[in-house]
Chains A and B, each alone.
Chain A
Amino acid sequence: MKQRLAKIAIATGLALAAVATSAPAQEFPDKPITMMIGFRPGGAVDTTGRLIAEKMSETLGVPVTGVTKSGGGGTVMAAELINSEPDGYTIGMGASAAYTLAPQLNSDLPFKIDDFDHLATLTYPSDAIVISADSEYNSMEEMIAAHKESGDPITFASQVSASRLMVAAISKATGVEFRVIPVQGGADGIKEVLGGHIDMTWSGSGWTEQVRAGTMKPLATMAADRMEDYPDVPTLLDLGYDFTFVDTFMLSAPKGVPEDRMAILVDAIEKAISDPAVQETLREKIGLQTKYRGPEETTDFLHQQYDAVAPLVDAASG
């Protein structure tokens, strides 16, 4: 008797499981999708995520809810994302440096690029290396040449690992000594440069207002291409330094999301970020450029970024 009951139970269970796996495949999504956001509210990543979430909800017909999971430059979110169910109902909004650079610097991080199904890249900031407007130098070349001659070090306020690698690359190419001073955020770097305590800093945002006010001068950008709004600011590549790093804001999912669900999500994301109104809002309000990449391109991009910084990380730590 007991055995028969057990058999029936197993059979029903299997049948239910079969129904459960087949039914939502057609109807995905049929419940709210959670978008974990790896940075604090109000910042560039958060704003991008919430705008895209809103547009995705319109397309998918279910709410896409932004939930803040901030910390560690997006790595806390990523670490949580790999442990969530790969059913397409949990996605994560983060930044490429969390997948490409952070794991090379911090061996504690329990994830690699390929532990995720990356969905898309969305936006990146218009960044610049800036100095005080009071400085006697007007270009990177001038400043480097002068310090090369005098042998004085350049002090550089760094809030992210990428800018630390950047000065290492410039230093290696030119022989000029840089003293890298850690600061807690882009705003602190700007403050130290404005106060005349540190020569130079890198800023992902906030620098444009200082330049407009005439308090700071941009020397170069880490981006691969020149900025539309500041065509006179050269890239580091233009200046002959083999360094570019664009911390790109992007969406990922845990590894193993069924293909049909991936397709539905990717379509909704592409539609959201292709909306000219969204792009304009992002650019005008928070100075973000849009760069859409699909899942494969995104994964390729991350691997390229990983490989590009690997030798610099080795050099810096060795």
Chain B
Amino acid sequence: MDQILLGVGDALAIENVLLIAVGVFTGLLVGAIPGLNGPMAIALALPITFYLSSLSGIAFLIGIMKGGTFGGSVAAILLNTPGSPEAAATAMDGYPLAQKGKGLKAMKMALYSSVFGDSVSDIVLFCVAAPVAVISLKMGPPEMASVLIFALTIIAGLSGKSLIRGLIAATLGGVIGTIGLDPESAVPRMTFGFVQLSDGVSLIPMTIGLLALSEIIVQLEAQILGRAGAAKRLNPFAKEVPRENKVVTWAEWRACFPTTLRSSAIGTGIGALPGVGAVVAGFLGYASAKRASKTPEEFGTGKLEGIAAVEAANSAVSGANLIPLLAIGVPGSLTAAVLIGAFLVHGVQPGPLIFQDHPRLIYGIFAAMVLANIFNFVIGQAGLRFFAFVVSFPNRFIYPAVILCCIAGAYAGANSMFDVAIAFIFAVVGYFMRKLDFSFAAFIIGFALTPQAELYVRQTVILYGDRPMTLLTDHPIVAFFLALTTYSVIRIARYQRKADHARVALREGATSNDAPDLEITVRDRSEP
């Protein structure tokens, strides 16, 4: 108890409080700017913390981490260009809301659900880190493989209008995801002789190109061709916007609450499993909200619940990520791995004994996390005005700045011009995906899940290849998730057939050129 109080006292020292505030602000800023993001800022800030005490340094980095989780959604909502990869799903409902003049409402919902998800996951970390870590240890290769196979079924929920095109996008994402050294033999696959591809295509430059740069191309094209309608942005603070579009009402919050809670749980679970990540958690939260909803067709058209689903889930990852780190000394994510570096530099060895050896530091960090959540809320709330102000600048200022940040962000991860080229290649890919209505979400999920799924499946084959049936008999978790996957696939197939019937009926009845999606694709492709 003494140690808890001492730790909390340390965190409340004025310099630490200030550092956390600065960290949260930095995180919000880099998160909000497309191209820059939290993990990158943490890596860049790490050397600065060498000169701080261990608690101050780590608290500062945690502030950046937490600020970054919400920051990404701002640009996703206002500009349709996610500030960070995990906010990609936020744009799906956030941007339509902004187009309807409800940008501020959307951002506030994102902030509230983000802070809520983050807090839930922190509470889980503080209270039950040890038992949760034990469960995550029980998740061996076959268990993880089955979880990831199940996660792949969410592609159906993210496919947009056409399941076929969703599957194509996901498969392409998966193929891109297999670029790099073969995990077993270390033989390069599809690297075309580029050493830079030996670790695969980096997620951040890819998403920068795919989501942010491609949107700018689309906007510029609209402007050049005189279709300025698409580029017109409403200032969410403008006087003529009615107040109800600027706030989240208590009724709205309550209506979304089951979704927020479900997504918080999903995010926490994903965070506690090393190596899955916030991007997957966000999409998973979105897809399960859609699946649970009575009106799934409203998702993607500007539904507040869609934002809550994504933001609660991707933010809940950040606290839970520290569960394996603090309880068993294994980092759960890139951010956590960088934090390990910060611990080491300050002479703290993350491991099972960290609570015993450094209780004061750990409780100090916990207190810092709570503080960071509070700051995130306060600074976020105040910052919305500032962000919205920045975004209300004319496009001729916004786009060059965003492009510059995108290039800098693509470069900064590994200080590599190669990654900048990757960003531009995927900008072109993203442009055509937008034009042909292929789902980004499905593509990114395919990309993010495939390397993990491949690794775990191959591990499982090596371990259990000679006795595959024992996986079903001796591993209840595997059996459970495979059954769930089978059920999901059957349900998706049924739903799809019903939808097809409905469409056929519609086409036979209608005389207009209400052609099904697939034909549009074919026609678009044949155009020069």
Having A70-B414, A195-B139, one finds 5 other A-B pairs with CB under 8 Å, namely: A71-B196, A71-B198, A187-B329, A191-B137, A286-B344
Would you list the 4 A-B pairs with minimal beta carbon distance, nearest first? A42-B341, A209-B351, A197-B140, A72-B198
Residues of A within 8 A of B184 (CB): 180, 182
* In contact, B341 and A108 (Cβ under 8 angstroms): no
Closest to A153 in B: B466
Tell me the dominant secondary structure on chain A's binding face. Answer: mixed
Residue-wise interface mask of B (180-219) relative to A, using a CB-CB cutoff of 8 A (1 in contact, 0 not)? 0101101110010111101100000000000000000000
Residues of A within 8 A of B194 (CB): 108
Check B230 for interface membership: any CB of A closer than 8 A. Answer: no
Given A72-B199, A215-B352, do A192 and B341 touch, yes or no (CB 8 Å)?
no
Residues of A within 8 A of B351 (CB): 206, 209-210, 212-213
* In contact, A106 and B181 (Cβ under 8 angstroms): yes
Contacting residues of chain A (162-193) with chain B, CB-CB under 8 angstroms? 179-184, 187-188, 190-192
Contacting residues of chain A (66-115) with chain B, CB-CB under 8 angstroms? 66-72, 75-76, 79, 105-106, 108-110
Can you name 22 A-B pairs with beta carbons within 8 Å? A42-B43, A42-B338, A47-B341, A67-B415, A70-B414, A109-B195, A155-B462, A155-B463, A181-B463, A182-B458, A183-B455, A191-B324, A191-B328, A192-B140, A195-B140, A197-B140, A209-B329, A209-B350, A209-B352, A213-B351, A215-B352, A284-B347
* In contact, A71 and B329 (Cβ under 8 angstroms): no
Given A75-B195, A192-B140, A212-B351, do A42 and B462 touch, yes or no (CB 8 Å)?
no
* In contact, A187 and B139 (Cβ under 8 angstroms): no
* In contact, A68 and B338 (Cβ under 8 angstroms): no
Contacting residues of chain B (170-186) with chain A, CB-CB under 8 angstroms? 181, 183-184, 186
Residues of A within 8 A of B339 (CB): 42
Given A41-B46, A194-B137, A210-B329, do A47 and B345 touch, yes or no (CB 8 Å)?
yes
Check A2 for interface membership: any CB of B closer than 8 A. Answer: no
Q: How far is the CB of B79 from chain A (nearest CB, A)?
A: 29
Check B274 for interface membership: any CB of A closer than 8 A. Answer: yes
Contact of B345 among A110, A206, A285 (CB under 8 A): A285
Q: How far is the CA of A67 from the CA of B44 in the complex (A)?
A: 10
* In contact, A76 and B198 (Cβ under 8 angstroms): yes
Closest to B338 in A: A42
Contacting residues of chain B (28-48) with chain A, CB-CB under 8 angstroms? 43, 46-47
* In contact, A71 and B344 (Cβ under 8 angstroms): no
Q: How far is the CA of A212 from the CA of B329 in the complex (A)?
A: 12
Q: How far is the CA of A108 from the CA of B350 in the complex (A)?
A: 37
Closest to B42 in A: A41
Residues of B within 8 A of A285 (CB): 344-347
* In contact, B191 and A105 (Cβ under 8 angstroms): no
Residues of B within 8 A of A208 (CB): 349
Given A106-B186, A180-B462, A198-B463, do A42 and B199 touch, yes or no (CB 8 Å)?
no
Q: How far is the CA of A116 from the CA of B45 in the complex (A)?
A: 31
Q: How far is the CA of A235 from the CA of B370 in the complex (A)?
A: 47
Residues of B within 8 A of A206 (CB): 329, 351
Check B63 for interface membership: any CB of A closer than 8 A. Answer: no
Check A255 for interface membership: any CB of B closer than 8 A. Answer: no
Q: How far is the CB of A110 from chain B (nearest CB, A)?
A: 7
Closest to B356 in A: A213
Given A69-B415, A75-B195, A76-B196, do A46 and B341 touch, yes or no (CB 8 Å)?
yes
Given A50-B47, A106-B181, do A209 and B353 touch, yes or no (CB 8 Å)?
yes
Residues of B within 8 A of A138 (CB): none
Contacting residues of chain B (136-176) with chain A, CB-CB under 8 angstroms? 137-141
Residue-wise interface mask of B (47-63) relative to A, using a CB-CB cutoff of 8 A (1 in contact, 0 not)? 10000000000000000
* In contact, A179 and B462 (Cβ under 8 angstroms): yes
Residues of A within 8 A of B328 (CB): 191, 194
Contacting residues of chain B (315-349) with chain A, CB-CB under 8 angstroms? 324, 328-331, 337-342, 344-347, 349
Give the interface of B toward A (CB within 8 A): 43, 46-47, 137-141, 181, 183-184, 186-188, 191, 193-196, 198-199, 274-275, 324, 328-331, 337-342, 344-347, 349-353, 414-416, 455, 458-459, 462-463
Check A40 for interface membership: any CB of B closer than 8 A. Answer: yes
Closest to B328 in A: A194
* In contact, B186 and A161 (Cβ under 8 angstroms): yes
Q: How far is the CB of B156 from chain A (nearest CB, A)?
A: 28
Contact of A71 among B341, B342, B345, B414 (CB under 8 A): B414
Q: How far is the CB of A212 from chain B (nearest CB, A)?
A: 6
Q: How far is the CA of A197 from the CA of B199 in the complex (A)?
A: 26
Q: How far is the CB of B331 from chain A (nearest CB, A)?
A: 6
Residues of B within 8 A of A50 (CB): 47
Given A181-B459, A191-B274, do A42 and B337 touch, yes or no (CB 8 Å)?
yes
Residues of B within 8 A of A181 (CB): 141, 459, 462-463
* In contact, A69 and B198 (Cβ under 8 angstroms): no
| Contacts across chains A and B counted by CB atoms under 8 Å | 143
Residues of A within 8 A of B187 (CB): 105-106
Residues of A within 8 A of B349 (CB): 208-209
Given A42-B46, A209-B350, do A197 and B415 touch, yes or no (CB 8 Å)?
no
Residues of B within 8 A of A318 (CB): none
Q: How far is the CA of A281 from the CA of B274 in the complex (A)?
A: 29
Q: How far is the CA of A208 from the CA of B46 in the complex (A)?
A: 24
Q: How far is the CA of A155 from the CA of B330 in the complex (A)?
A: 20
Check A43 for interface membership: any CB of B closer than 8 A. Answer: yes
* In contact, A195 and B137 (Cβ under 8 angstroms): yes
* In contact, A108 and B195 (Cβ under 8 angstroms): yes
Residues of B within 8 A of A215 (CB): 352
Residues of A within 8 A of B274 (CB): 187-188, 191
* In contact, A184 and B275 (Cβ under 8 angstroms): yes
Contact of B337 among A40, A106, A109, A155 (CB under 8 A): A40
Residue-wise interface mask of A (195-212) relative to B, using a CB-CB cutoff of 8 A (1 in contact, 0 not)? 111100000001011101
Q: How far is the CB of A65 from chain B (nearest CB, A)?
A: 10
Q: How far is the CA of A215 from the CA of B191 in the complex (A)?
A: 40
Residues of B within 8 A of A209 (CB): 329, 349-353
Contact of A187 among B183, B198, B330, B414 (CB under 8 A): B330
Q: How far is the CB of B241 from chain A (nearest CB, A)?
A: 44
Q: How far is the CA of A187 from the CA of B136 in the complex (A)?
A: 14
Q: Pick from A41, A43, A196, A213 the residue with the most CB of B within 10 Å.
A: A41
Residues of B within 8 A of A184 (CB): 183, 275, 455
Q: How far is the CA of A190 from the CA of B327 in the complex (A)?
A: 13
Residues of B within 8 A of A210 (CB): 329, 351-352
* In contact, A182 and B459 (Cβ under 8 angstroms): yes
Q: How far is the CA of A284 from the CA of B199 in the complex (A)?
A: 31
Contacting residues of chain A (284-307) with chain B, CB-CB under 8 angstroms? 284-286
Residues of A within 8 A of B337 (CB): 40, 42, 187
Residues of A within 8 A of B140 (CB): 192, 195-197
Q: Pick from B186, B275, B463 the residue with the most CB of A within 10 Å.
A: B186
Contacting residues of chain A (208-232) with chain B, CB-CB under 8 angstroms? 208-210, 212-213, 215
Q: How far is the CA of A188 from the CA of B141 in the complex (A)?
A: 11
Q: How far is the CA of A105 from the CA of B345 in the complex (A)?
A: 33
Closest to B350 in A: A209
